[in-house]
Amino acid sequence: MKVGLFIPCYIDQFYPQVGIATYQLLEKLGVQADFPRQQTCCGQPMANTGCEQDAKPVYHHFVDTFAGYDYVVAPSGSCVYHVRKHYDVVEQTGAVQHVRQSTFDLFDFITTVLGVTELPGRFPHQVGLHLSCHGQRGLHQANESEMTPVRDGQLSRLLRSVDGLTLTELNRNDECCGFGGTFCITEEAVSARMGQDRVQDHLLNGTEVLTGGDMSCLMHLEGIVRRRQLPMRVMHAAEIFNAALPQPSPSVSTFVPQPIVAES
């Protein structure tokens, strides 16, 4: 299994520890990922600001960079969603279709491809999970409250499997944080208020560590936490799992990749 690690530009520039934790976590799970140095952005920022035609060369560069891998893994649901859903504006060559189908969010890859449903380790903290809109509603990684009251999802199950970790019960489980890419720039007042509401829900319900699978959302929430000087840490879930798993899993050799199912 040949895996290419894609680290989004904002993680590379502002949160390199998340990229490192992602690589180390995959290694502990028996996956030796490559990090192609020629990688850049997936093109999402330009597309979100109405410049999708200008983003096409970036799309092609992404495809050229990762076409030779069986899987492309990224610690960002929003970037993965963009590659899967928005690369339909370029010619659908075999390479483009392969990259679109084989690009996975980190936790989707762990649960769907590696077949891992529980992670051993210990993290003795109360953890509040923020569900990103792209991960939840775009990639369907968790239940949506407008569809069912059941609170479940890939990342929440993995977190609950960690010894000592208590998952915060929020009043509003899957509300948007307000980041929304360029939405936080064009509608900064609304974005800030939405973020404040999200942080307040975690604060009222005892969250010690605020986590999620999208560092873009966490970056927005962390800014509010820091500005208010709240007693709360913000960590990407890859950092939590990497910290909880100091040694390689003894069962790494048992992981068998599952076949990719083409999306319609």
Note down the domain range covering 206.
126-244
Shared domain check, 192 and 134:
yes
Question: What is the reported pLDDT for 176?
Answer: 87
pTM of this prediction exceeds 0.85: yes
Distance (Å, whole) CA 193 – CA 47: 25
Tokens of 109: 């890859």
Distance (Å, whole) CA 8 – CA 79: 7
Residue 260 in domain: no
Span 88-121, pLDDT tens digits: 999 999 999 999 999 999 999 999 999 999 998 9
Shared domain check, 70 and 9:
yes
Question: What is the reported pLDDT for 248?
Answer: 62
Identity of the residue numbered 75: P
User: Is the model's pLDDT at 251 over the cut of 80?
Assistant: no
Residue 58 in domain: yes
Residue 249 in domain: no
Span 183-233, pLDDT tens digits: 767 778 888 898 899 999 999 999 999 999 999 899 999 999 999 999 999
Residue 78 in domain: yes
Q: What does the pLDDT average to over 1-30? A: 96
Task: Name the residue with higher pLDDT: 248 or 32.
Answer: 32
DSSP one-letter string for 148-186: -S---BHHHHHHHTSBT-EE---SSTT---S-TTTHHHH
Residue 211 in domain: yes
Residue 212 in domain: yes
- Report how many domains make up the chain: 2
Q: Can you give the CATH number for the domain in which 141 is found?
A: 3.40.50
Question: What is the reported pLDDT for 185?
Answer: 73
pLDDT > 90: what percent of the chain?
Answer: 71
Q: Write down which residue in 94, 114, 134 finishes a domain.
A: 114
